[in-house]
Amino acid sequence: MLNLTTSVPGGRGGCPPVGIQLEGVILPPVLIIDVILGLLGNMVALWIFCFKLKTWNPNNLFLFNLVIADFLVLVSLPLRIDSLLRGHWVFGDGLCRINLFLMFSNRSASIALMTVVAIYRYFKVVHPHHRFNRLTKHQAAFVSAFVWLLVIGPRIPMLAYNHIKIPGNKTQCFFFTSYNEMSRAIIVLVGMHRILTVLEFLLPMAMLLFCSVRIFGFLKSRQMGKPDKVRKAMRVCVAIVLVFMVCFLPTTVTTIGLWVIGSYRPWDCPSFYTFTQLNIASLGLNFLNSALDPIVYVFSSSMFRKALCGSLPRALRCRNDTSDGEDMPSSGTQSTNQQELKSTETERESKAM
């Protein structure tokens, strides 16, 4: 993925570096909206998790970690917005490294944690007796810590290199300018970053679609409860997939386009410049996930939803919602067991007569 640059890597293929004006026009208002909506939604979510949620389960713990991931990027975006509005970076090398690290770590952490939430829901619905459903809070905390290590590890090398450049006597903070200016270590780092950008979308997307299809098929085949209960169980999967597609698909597609053009059509400068600008524009959507994630919290956790509704003024409170996908498996299994028990007792009585 190309990062908030003022010039693009075209030197290797004969395309001269080109100044990018689109980022200074499109990104500031988009990122400002992302920050405002994200801070409002996640501050409410953090307040609910910390002060209103009476009991915790693994699902809520995973969602709480998603809130933390969103806050990390939200506190880093104002520096990037200031840089775009000024036209240059004024915060020094150290904050430049931290800024880039937080921005890209957030993408990885958000994707990974949303995938964990979907997988947890899959096991709760399709495999209600699997031991994964008996995770304790301490085990869920260990899973969360492992996810953080998994996503942060490949990004740590970004902190080891200076990303400050001075094109045209204006200090800029970006990943790279052109291939001719990069050291071998930076080339490897950029290549690894692009591979992660693609893989961390394709693999989780495949898992999300698999979980959603299996949950829907399982509930339809078992006819567990009324149709509205099936819809409630599917809401979280649909919400996660939609957030995933809207926020991360454009960046992934444009990254692949830049990769293909740079590798196989290095002379095609118009296409390279087009994909570069589309990639830059897609960054605004990339960070929109921090504003949309509170929707996932509402759909993913009945505990969170009830705590939120209970905190609203009486006139705005939601109607009573006693069942959703989160507790669907247990209630559905319990109902099925009760029906089987009644049926067995009826058969015994008829035989006795």
Q: Which domains does the chain have, with CATH numbers?
A: 11-327 (1.20.1070.10)
The tens-digit pLDDT sequence of the chain (353 residues) is 434 443 444 444 456 554 456 667 788 888 999 899 888 888 888 888 888 887 888 888 998 998 898 888 888 899 989 988 888 888 888 998 898 888 888 888 888 988 898 888 888 888 888 888 888 889 999 999 999 999 888 888 888 877 777 766 777 787 654 444 456 776 777 778 778 888 888 998 999 889 888 887 887 776 555 566 566 667 767 777 888 888 889 988 988 888 888 778 877 778 877 887 787 778 788 888 888 888 777 766 677 777 777 776 666 566 655 444 454 443 333 333 344 334 444 444 444 44
Q: In this predicted model, what pLDDT tens digit does every residue of 125-148 receive, in sequence order?
A: 888 888 888 888 899 999 999 999
Distance CA 7, CA 272 (A): 12
Helices (H) and strands (E) counted in the chain, each on its own, are 10, 2
State the pLDDT at residue 163.
74
H or E stretch covering 227: helix 227-264
Distance CA 332, CA 334 (A): 5
Contacts of 199 (CB under 8 A, 6+ apart): none
Distance CA 89, CA 95 (A): 10
Tokens representing residue 52 in the block: 């209103």
pTM for the whole structure: 0.76
Phi-psi region of 171 (alpha: psi -120 to 50; beta: other; left: phi over 0): beta
Distance CA 78, CA 76 (A): 6
Q: In this predicted model, what pLDDT tens digit does every residue of 74-100 receive, in sequence order?
A: 888 999 899 888 888 888 889 988 988
Q: Which amino acid is at 298?
A: V
